[in-house]
Structure 1
Amino acid sequence: MLDTLPRSPHRRRVYLMRHGAVTYFDGATGRPVLPEQVQLNEDGVAQAQAAGAAFARAGIRFDRVIVSGLPRTVQTAELVLTHADQASLPVQVWPEWQEIRGGRLGDIPDAALVQAFTGLQQSPVDEDQRFLNGERIGDLLDRVLGGVERLRADPDWDCALLVLHGVVNAALLSHAVSGGQRLMMGSWVQSPACINVLDMGPGPGDWLLRACNFAPLHPLHADERSTTMEALFAQYLRYRQQRA
């Protein structure tokens, strides 16, 4: 007898987080802090703790935890795991998922500053678009999507926590909701320590998005209207004015 009943493919769960809030400009001097060194601020710590508590309340257990290796992702993951009662889980570093790399802000002409800071919010983003005069979107997609294939090829996990970055998450979400295409949609907002819930199927186009940009401390985003890059641009202009 022909079996015509629909079959559900085995999908694995990915909890994709952005790191908690950080301060990219030094409070005392106003100078930019190196992105490779920036640490979670007080808000970022509270956000990561709240995310961990949310996982604990839901009874979610991870069997794979991956970070980019930059301190802000490592700190966030450790706080999440501690407050999710899973502090003993090892944390893996996958450097291909580090944040998009900017260039020297001082090398950007004044007329190009707005585009340099906010150009990635336009959708779809051209692969030749550079982030703050640095890395190309095409080069970011090469490494981020390579990491996706690495994760998919690994059979030894069922529920993974990824703690990454805003633009990296946007690339992953764009890939997932487009059915596995290579593209970057710049309109994905990723609040600090937000949680995205994705199910990864066996094929590159088999993804389900179940939740996006869930921030446990501010689930309705009532006080948010600007993006991270818009806020950073305002901070950078204040820094320039202080130096003038």
Structure 2
Amino acid sequence: MSSSPTDSKAPRRRIYLMRHGAVTYFDATGRPVLPEEVPLNEEGRAQAIAAGLQFKQDGVRFDRVIVSGLPRTVQTAALVLEHAGLAETLTPEIWPELQEIRGGRLADIPREQIQQAFNGLSHGLLREDQRFLNGESIAELLDRVLPAISKLRAQTDWDSALLVLHGVVNAAVLSHAMSGGGRMMLGSLVQAPACINVLDVGEAPADWLVRVVNFSPQHPLHTHTRHTTMEALLAQYLQYRSER
């Protein structure tokens, strides 16, 4: 198991919660790529490798690895495990209920609502009726993510688990942990590509400890940007839409 050698019985289990590495959501012509199909780009692969090397450097081992099944999480997990030296001993499990929040059709969003549609989930305490790009609501996301986390906690065959998921899904898990197992959603929890969060969880429903949030091995202090992923995507989409 992955407990500290000084512990006779670890009081809590550990979850390493990652976001997938960077992807390119618009092709060379500016056309949006289907979120269900988009793969890691070169930068995203480098980020995943850096995360794997960080785990190896710190001697971290996992009992289980869980991905959402979307290609960007599967590819990130594979690179992390390869460069952590764990690829031969672990096979990622696919939990589709942990896929990213689902957007609607961008073309159906009126121009005056575009900015709110892209950035409305990035700030403050979110309402459950708020929707992502006119698609899935926060309530619908929580209805599938929180039971999955409860299911994982109920399973006793692991001490240390790696979850490679998505930005908004990670924010839901972090909000749940920060509120002691509550149902809430904080939109301000930024998740950089291939970032690592460290959570400890005990037996009691409210026993959550949040130890690390949004650690990026390549950019620990995030000095390279002050934008969110959705702000960058909005700029790309507006350029594509203006050229049509």
TMscore range, shorter length: over 0.9
Structure 2 counterparts to residues 78-93 of structure 1, below 5 A = 78-88=78-88, 89-93=90-94
Question: 2:145 maps to what in 1?
Answer: 144
> Displacement, 1:37?
0.4
Cα deviation, 1:165-221, whole Å, max 9, x if unaligned, reads: 000000000000111110000000100000000001112211001111000011110
Structure 2 counterparts to residues 59-70 of structure 1, below 5 A = 59-70=59-70
| Cα distance in 2 for residues equivalent to 1:185 and 1:9 | 30
> Displacement, 1:241?
1.4
> Displacement, 1:29?
1.0
Asked whether 1:19 is paired with 2:20, we answer yes
Asked whether 1:156 is paired with 2:157, we answer yes
| Cα distance in 2 for residues equivalent to 1:217 and 1:122 | 25
Give, as a single letter, the amino acid of the residue that structure 2 aligns with 1:64.
Answer: R
| Cα distance in 1 for residues equivalent to 2:164 and 2:82 | 14
| Cα distance in 2 for residues equivalent to 1:10 and 1:151 | 17
> Displacement, 1:31?
0.2
| Cα distance in 2 for residues equivalent to 1:59 and 1:11 | 18
Question: 2:4 maps to what in 1?
Answer: none
Question: 1:202 maps to what in 2?
Answer: 203
Give, as a single letter, the amino acid of the residue that structure 1 aligns with 2:34.
Answer: L
CA contact (8 A) 1:9 1:202 kept: no
Question: 1:52 maps to what in 2?
Answer: 52
> Displacement, 1:130?
0.5
| Cα distance in 1 for residues equivalent to 2:122 and 2:10 | 34
Question: 2:36 maps to what in 1?
Answer: 36
**RMSD (Å) for aligned C-alpha atoms:** 1.0
CA contact (8 A) 1:9 1:201 kept: no
Question: 1:4 maps to what in 2?
Answer: none
- Secondary structure of 1:76's match? helix
- Secondary structure of 1:220's match? coil
> Displacement, 1:121?
1.3
> Displacement, 1:122?
2.4
Question: 1:119 maps to what in 2?
Answer: 120
User: Could you tell me the TM-score, scaled by structure 1's length?
Assistant: 0.95
Identify unmatched segments of 5+ residues in structure 2. Answer: 1-8
| Cα distance in 1 for residues equivalent to 2:63 and 2:71 | 22
Cα deviation, 1:53-82, whole Å, max 9, x if unaligned, reads: 000011111000000000000000000000
Asked whether 1:170 is paired with 2:177, we answer no
| Cα distance in 1 for residues equivalent to 2:123 and 2:187 | 5
Identify unmatched segments of 5+ residues in structure 1. Answer: 1-7
Moved over 4 A (4+): none
> Displacement, 1:9?
7.5
